């Protein structure tokens, strides 16, 4: 059709026809409108060498370079030459060494492997995995991108997970939101120790600022009985009694709490303070009796419980504690007094014991007189 002159009346149509027919002079002429020589490779293969095999790509590339007048390749030209020549490993090496950004080599390796795994395999080494690990690791040094890095590393098997565990531990715990996200990610990949370390760090940080409920929440999240007990002990020794009713996190038990005697005490004392705040003094007194005579009370806290008992009994002239409860407390005081004070002023301690004993006897007298009527 071209040789018979059918398109002579339409120059553009003739040019298109000549390109489709594989006319090299015409293709050379229009190639000047292209930005890069490698843009010429697809039409060159399609129209001039449609039956070219993969090994023949190299020759096609040489022809395209010749058309563009390029004698020596460097930079992106060298990379494209190596890729077209099926020298993918050399291309990936060139890209990796010429830039500190791992995004391009990692994603190029991923595409090449999806095309043919043999292209980027060498000496039984998974080049794609290595490059993705490098890229994913580099994201942890960029603010706000560590979550993206997590997704990349998680997809690279055990080697990626080993890197991931180390990198997660290095993420700054700037706030509770970051720490919560990190713990959730640790649960996804079973990094129990890392989650535990993060929760411990957050619990101790909140303890230092007197945020008792938050500290206990993080201790519980660690799922470690030792951490839970340590934090609970700190709250018991440092939190003022009137603040206990605001620590709502202890209201509901979890399995790890049941294993900590300190947390059990904290839970029961919290309930006592809530009853007291709601003016349910009889129920509060019953719970207080159970607490005092139990083995749960930390020794340094016993004086606070006795003070609470004095406060309840001093305010009322009616029966607050049952006969059995009063007798249990009086018996407990005998044993308690025999053990001696624990880091308390001895005279003050003795005075408090006498006051408690007097108020209990008065309460017991009210019980007896009320039952005899």
Q: What is the mean pLDDT of residues 353-366?
A: 88
Q: What is the pTM of this model?
A: 0.73
Mean pLDDT of 258-264: 82
Look at 296 and 148; give whichever has higher pLDDT: 148
Q: Who wins on pLDDT, 330 or 100?
A: 330
What is the per-residue pLDDT for 124? Answer: 59
pLDDT (0 to 100) of residue 93: 77
Report how far residue 341's alpha carbon sits from residue 348's, in angstroms, rounded to the nearest whole number: 10
What per-residue string of b and e applies to 33-58 under the rule 16 or more CB within 10 Å gives b? eeeebbebbebbbebbeeeeeeeebe
Average model confidence (pLDDT) for the chain? Answer: 84
Q: For residue 52, what are the contacts with CB-CB under 8 A and spacing of at least 6?
A: 45, 59, 60
Share of the chain above pLDDT 90, in %: 31
CB 37 within 8 Å of CB 22: no
Q: Any idea where the domains of the chain sit in the sequence? A: 1-86, 99-171, 172-278, 280-373
**Looking at the predicted structure, is the pLDDT value of residue 28 above 70?**
yes
pLDDT band at 63 (very low <50, low <70, confident <90, very high): confident
pLDDT at 13 over 80: no
Q: What per-residue confidence (pLDDT) applies to 340?
A: 66
- pLDDT at residue 317 greater than cutoff 70: no
Query: Which tens digits make up the pLDDT trace of 75-89?
Result: 777 777 777 766 777
Burial of 3 (0-12, 13-18, 19+ CB in 10 A): exposed
Residue 122 has phi, psi (to 5 degrees) of: -155, 125
**DSSP3 helix / strand / coil % (the chain, rounded to 5):** 75, 0, 25
Compute how many other C-beta atoms are within 10 angstroms of the C-beta atom of residue 291: 20
- Express each pLDDT in 18-27 by its tens digit: 778 777 888 7
Spacing of C-alpha 191 from chain mean position: 10
Q: Cα(45)–Cα(53) distance, rounded to whole angstroms?
A: 10
Phi/psi zone of residue 280: left (φ > 0), alpha (ψ -120 to 50 degrees), beta?
Answer: beta
More confident residue, 75 or 206: 206
Give me the mean pLDDT over the 226-244 stretch: 90
Contact 228, 260 (CB under 8 A): yes
């Amino acid at each position: 059709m071209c040789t018979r002159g059918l398109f002579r009346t339409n120059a553009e149509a003739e040019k298109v026809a000549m390109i489709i027919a594989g006319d090299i002079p015409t293709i050379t002429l229009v190639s000047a409108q292209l930005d890069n020589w490698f843009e010429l490779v697809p039409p060159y293969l399609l129209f001039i060498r449609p039956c070219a095999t993969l090994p023949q790509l190299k020759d096609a590339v040489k022809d395209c370079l010749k058309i563009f007048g390029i004698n020596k390749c460097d930079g992106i030209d060298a990379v494209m030459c190596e890729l077209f020549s099926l020298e993918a490993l050399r291309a990936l090496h060139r890209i990796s060494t010429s830039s500190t950004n791992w995004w391009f080599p990692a994603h190029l390796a991923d595409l090449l492997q999806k095309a043919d795994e043999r292209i980027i395999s060498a000496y039984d080494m998974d080049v794609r995995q290595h490059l993705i690990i490098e890229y994913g690791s580099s994201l942890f040094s960029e603010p706000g991108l560590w979550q993206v890095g997590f997704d990349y590393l998680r997809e690279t098997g055990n080697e990626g997970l080993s890197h991931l565990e180390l990198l997660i531990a290095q993420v700054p715990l700037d706030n509770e939101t970051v720490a919560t996200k990190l713990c959730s990610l640790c649960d996804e990949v079973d990094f129990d120790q890392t989650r535990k370390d993060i929760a411990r760090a957050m619990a101790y940080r909140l303890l230092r600022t007197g945020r008792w409920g938050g500290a206990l929440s993080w201790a519980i999240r660690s799922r470690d009985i030792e951490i839970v007990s340590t934090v609970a002990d700190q709250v018991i020794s440092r939190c003022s009694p009137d603040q206990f009713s605001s620590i709502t996190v202890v209201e509901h038990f979890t399995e790890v709490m049941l294993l900590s005697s300190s947390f059990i005490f904290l839970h029961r004392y919290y309930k006592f303070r809530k009853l007291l705040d709601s003016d349910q003094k009889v129920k509060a007194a019953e719970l207080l009796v159970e607490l005092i005579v139990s083995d749960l009370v930390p020794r340094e806290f016993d004086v606070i419980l006795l003070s609470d008992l004095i406060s309840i009994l001093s305010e009322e002239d009616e029966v607050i504690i049952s006969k059995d409860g009063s007798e249990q407390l009086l018996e407990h005081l005998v044993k308690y007094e025999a053990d001696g004070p624990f880091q308390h002023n001895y005279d003050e301690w003795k005075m408090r014991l006498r006051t408690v004993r007097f108020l209990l006897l008065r309460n017991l007298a009210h019980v007896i007189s009320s039952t005899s009527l």
